[in-house]
Structure 1
Amino acid sequence: MKFMKLGTRPDTFYTEEATRTVSSDVPSDLVIRINNITYLLHKFPLLPKCGLLQRLLTDSGDSDNDSVELHDIPGGEDAFELCAKFCYGITINLSAHNFVRAFCAAKFLRMTESVEKGNFVLKLEAFFNSCILEGWKDSIVALQSTGKMIEWSENLGITRRCIDSIVEKILIPPAKVNWSFTYSRPGYNKKRHQSVPRDWWTEDISDLDIDLFRFIVTALRSTNMVQPQLIGEALHVYACRWLPDTTKIRPPESSASLTNQPVEKNRRVLETIVSMIPADRGSVSVNFLLRLLSTASFLGASPVTKTELIRRCGLQLDEVTVDDLLIPSHLSSDQYCYDIDLISVVLESFLVLWRIQYPAPSQDSQFMRSIRKVGKVIDCYLQVAAKDANMPVMKFISLAEALPDIARPKHDDLYKAINIYLKVKYCLPRVPVFKHSFCSLVLKNHRLLSYSAHFDMAMYITRSILI
């Protein structure tokens, strides 16, 4: 990170209660109040450099001890003190961390060339152009600090210039990237990897607040020079950084800590991320989409956000694995592990979307391959869900029956899931509808069972239900 040092005198500011003053043999003749802090200073170093103070003190008339209130100075007391120390010639160190507040305060105080040559604004602009905007991480740090002075930063062009600098660097071919960046993906070792990864920039911009991150992503997409998959990876990295991970089964005390997180802020981050997902299929993985959908349910996201996520999950469901579907239920009323309702909704969306595209599928169609792949994964998911003794019978049966007949050329996996469920449950409730539903499910599908060891198992299941 680049620094600029101005001034040579030692720091002689000191504090007495809520008063800041300068150690000097010359009595103070200028009182400046900012919020709850009072500054006892001197006119002779400040007035020649601060056009605003000149005007305010001229309007107030001559006085031996003038008083000025600057409660609305951008950056508050810290920013004013940087400007005051510059006037006194006291050493100050400037960097991307404090540049924005110093620049906004200097502009507010009118420390420009028209007031005095070599003034603070000119030096800050030179530092901004030659150092901060030239650096990758400096530009990001400076942009992040604009969030505390949004209006001033936008009006002075700081925000736009930082964004332009960041986007320009992202668009540079990876082979020409010669600055340091953060990249902590598992298995990546900079010493072993000579080439720069295409997504080298995604972790550093994830430090930004969601609005600033959105500005960067929007600017990148407007160039049409960044692949949708890279945009999707940036969204994935940001979500992993800021959103709670609701896809892991936790003990009750850990689930309570999730609830204590700032829900409103997380919901806004989630909905913004979803709104930025490129329309291109495959720009993000179905695993990521399912994670977002789980988080949306947990945070109570808007219906629009949930509907879009369900649609996107359904569109890519043929890419899913069993592990992707093992999403825990976070409802306090649910005693079972996995969110089978969420999977049912996504499966329904998949079937609706593909029936529209393939109203009369042939044996060789893409739909046939996709739906059989989905059928295989759903039946394997049921085998895992069946191990949960608290899984409601009707939810289990409902998901099993949701798949059309063409999704199961063989029913071995389904029967295995039913067998596991019965063994774990060890006895069905004595309610006739449950027995009737299970019996119907088995009898409906037994003809397509392969001639293997599963046939005996199917007969065992049927007898268990009928007894």
Structure 2
Amino acid sequence: MDVSSSYLQVDVNGEELFLVDKNIISSYSGRIRKLLGKTRCGTRNLKVIFHDFPGGSDGFELISRFCYSNGKIDINYSNVSLLHCLAIFMEMNESSSKVHNLFEQIEKSLEEIKYWTWSDLLVVLNHCQNLLPTVNSSGLLHKCVDSIVKRLALASEASPCQSTSSPDSSGLRLSTDTRSTDSFKNIFRATWWFEDLVSLKPYLVKMLTKSMVFQKFDHGVIARFLLYYQKSRFVTATQDEKREIMETVIEMLDSLDQRTVACKSLFGILRVALNLNIKKCCRNKLEKMIGLQLDQATLDNLLIPSPLGMDHMYDVNLVLRFIRSFLGTGFCRVPLIRMQKVANLMDLYIAEVSPDPCLKLSKFCSLVRAIPDSARESYDGIYHAMDMFLEAHTGLSEEDKRRLCYALNYEKLSSETCRHLAHNSKFPSRSAIEAVVSQQNKLKSLLEDTNQSKPFFDSPCSSVDTEIKDKREESCEQIVLYAGRLDFTNENEKLRANLQGMQCRVVELEKICKKMQNQMSKMLKSKLSRQNNARSLPRLC
């Protein structure tokens, strides 16, 4: 008998060479049948070479055993995923009662998936990730993932039976303290499965997360799992694996409710991601998530070193992108209290970066103007930051100094800051004039408001009277100080005229104040007189 004509050599991924009966194998495999159909009749020493056979030599041995057993094989959780991939690869889906037998047995086995234990599901899931991408097209992977998520949703009280990690051995202990509190128990029950799924590849984690979101899983638990997964996998991952893991975690966190992801955690991810050169789209998503919670950030969070090749100390452009994300389509939609928190945070940040001699004037002004004027109650912090900026940039021209001061709102400077500005020769003279005009407008507004109201004062030295007097004295003092700083040449004659006009108006305001003081004293005496007369009258029964 000629053995070479009835047998076929099969080289499986260069691992092992099998000698099989070509008639038996071809009767089950459409792929083998097609390959043999291309050969000439009577060809001897037939050989087939596979380079990407699922499961390697073990996989071919398994499918050969099925063929030699006349389509009979025990299918269970340990081999169902491999058999499914082998059936697809070997094209065992052609119209014949024999070849359909394997698919029918696999489908029948998968109907029992709801009765599999947690450990069985984990075994199948881990086998599936070693068979990608073939298993992904079969539908088996989706069934397994959905079963895992449904099992987690049902397991609200304790971990399921036969779990690979019991509550006592889980790597998720929040502390070594033995105190038993309801909060600890709730968190523990929700996270016992983290360690079981941490070995999965990023692709499967993405599938699991999407399934959890679809089945309305707690977004807070999902977020904690993603962060735990990233930290755990980074211990042994290569640089390329870290990049893939980080991109997956960012993409999945972006699909969750942003209120469930702590701002501190996002900044931690950002600092790691900056060294991994992740995709630009993923980085944009991360920056957007941080920007939406910018009011929860701290100064330390924002002090991120600038990228390599940049002269300035901190990454100012990154912070500007955070602000744009925070403001979104319009700052009117952001609650005022959140805007004020960000404004205070930005004032601290601007003060921190302003002494950097490499920080450009345009970037400094962009930081100041990034927050709407209505969000700042005071510009004192901005003024002092400008003072430090001018100290570090002594070579600025007068034009550049004026550009800098355009970002300053003089109406929101305190009197103390204005007095400081009066002695500050680093600022242009025009800034002094703007400051005194703003102070004069404040005094005028205060007098008008006081004149319109007619309150009864409890004492001759009322708080409003004292405030008016203080404002008047400060205004006069500032005019004198600012005038001493100006060099009245021909170009500054207009400034002299403006200052003289201001002095005249201050004198007029003094007269108005005295007149109001007299009126207030008369009103107070009249009130006291009526009270004394009322006390002298007898009580009526």
1:198 counterpart letter in structure 2? A
Superposition map of 1:120-199 within 5 A: 133-136=116-119, 139-140=121-122, 142-150=124-132, 152-154=134-136, 156-178=138-160, 179=163, 180=165, 187-189=174-176, 195=185, 196-199=188-191
- AA paired with 1:428? T
Shift of 1:456: 7.2
Pick the aligned partner of 1:105 from 86, 95, 100: 86
| Cα deviation digits, residues 107-154 of structure 1 (max 9, x gap) | 7677xxx879xx999799979968994225x53453344345346424
Instruction: Tell me how far 1:323 sits from its aligned partner.
Output: 2.8
Aligned to 2:339: 371
Deviation at 1:381, TM superposition (A): 1.8
Q: TM-score, normalised by structure 2?
A: 0.56
2:300 partner SS? helix
Q: Distance in 2 between matches of 1:353 and 1:107?
A: 50
Partner of 1:395: 363
1:273 corresponds in structure 2 to 252
Equivalent-residue separation in structure 2 for 1:351 and 1:171 (angstroms) = 37
> For residue 216 of structure 1, what is the amino acid of its counterpart?
L
Please tell me whether the aligned partners of residues 267 and 300 of structure 1 are also in contact (alpha carbons under 8 angstroms): no
In the other structure, the counterpart of 1:414 is 382
SS of match in other structure, 2:10 = strand
Structure 1 window deviating more from structure 2 (157-166 vs 285-294): it is 285-294
Pair 1:381 & 2:349 matched? yes
Amino acid corresponding to residue 414 of structure 1 in structure 2: I
Question: What displacement does 1:347 show?
Answer: 1.8
Alignment correspondent of 2:324: 348
Aligned to 2:259: 282
Hey, what's the Cα distance between the residues in 2 that align with 1:353 and 1:322? 25
Q: Which letter maps to 1:32? A: V
8 Å contact 1:329–1:339 — kept in the other structure? yes
Would the aligned equivalents of 1:286 and 1:316 in 2 still touch at CA under 8 Å? Answer: yes
Structure 2: gaps (5+ residues): 1-5, 70-74, 430-541
Secondary structure at 1:32 match in 2: strand
Whether the 8 Å contact between 2:206 and 2:248 is mirrored in structure 1 is no
Q: Which residue number in structure 1 is paired with residue 56 of structure 2?
A: 76
Q: Distance in 2 between matches of 1:261 and 1:123?
A: 36
CA distance in 2, matches of 1:205, 1:416: 53
Q: Are 2:430 and 1:435 equivalent residues in the alignment?
A: no
Bigger Rg, which one: 2
In 1: Cα distance, 2:406 partner to 2:173 partner: 48
8 Å Cα contact 2:377-2:412 kept in structure 1:
no
Change (3 A) 1:132 1:210: farther
Deviations 1:160-200 (A, max 9, x none): 23112210222124322243279656954496667224244
In 2: Cα distance, 1:235 partner to 1:147 partner? 18
2:148 partner amino acid: I
- 1:335 corresponds in structure 2 to 311
User: Hey, what's the Cα distance between the residues in 2 that align with 1:128 and 1:387?
Assistant: 69
Name the aligned partner's letter for residue 372 of structure 2. Answer: P
Aligned to 2:426: 464
Residue 22 (structure 1) aligns with: none
Which structure carries more relative contact order (alpha carbon 8 Å, separation 6+)?
A: 1
Q: Give distance in 2, aligned partners of 1:271 and 1:402.
A: 26
Label 1:144 to 1:317 Cα distance change in 2 as closer, same or farther (>3 A).
same
Query: Cα gap change, 1:414/1:173 in structure 2, threshold over 3 Å: closer, same or farther?
Result: farther
User: For residue 212 of structure 2, what is the aligned residue in structure 1?
Assistant: 220
Q: Which amino acid aligns with 1:34?
A: V
Structure 1, 386-395 or 316-325: larger mean CA deviation: 386-395
Q: Distance in 1 between matches of 2:385 and 2:287?
A: 25
Aligned to 1:336, what secondary structure does the other structure show?
Answer: coil
Note the C-alpha offset of 1:277.
1.7
1:373: how far off? 1.1
Alignment CA distance shift 1:404-1:216 (3 Å) = same
Q: Which amino acid aligns with 2:367?
A: L
Separation (CA, whole Å) in 2 of partners of 1:236 and 1:339: 25
- After superposition, the Cα gap between the structure-2 partners of 1:120 and 1:405, relative to the gap in structure 1 and judged at 3 Å, is closer
Matched AA of 2:306: S
What amino acid is aligned across from residue 448 of structure 1 in structure 2? L
Q: Which residue is equivalent to 1:24?
A: none
**Does residue 1:405 correspond to 2:384, yes or no?**
no
Q: How does 1:35-46 map to 2 (within 5 A)?
A: 35-37=13-15, 39-41=17-19
Aligned partners of 1:167 and 1:216 also within 8 Å:
yes
Question: Pairwise CA RMSD of aligned residues?
Answer: 5.3
Distance 1:314 1:58, change over 3 A: closer
Query: Could you tell me which amino acid in structure 2 is paired with residue 382 of structure 1?
Result: I
How many angstroms apart in 2 are the aligned matches of 1:150 and 1:174? 31
TM-score by length of 1: 0.63
Identity, % of aligned pairs?
22
Change (3 A) 1:465 1:266: farther
CA shift, 1:216, in A, is: 1.6
Q: How many residues align?
A: 397
Distance in 2 (alpha carbons) for counterparts of 1:206 and 1:329: 33
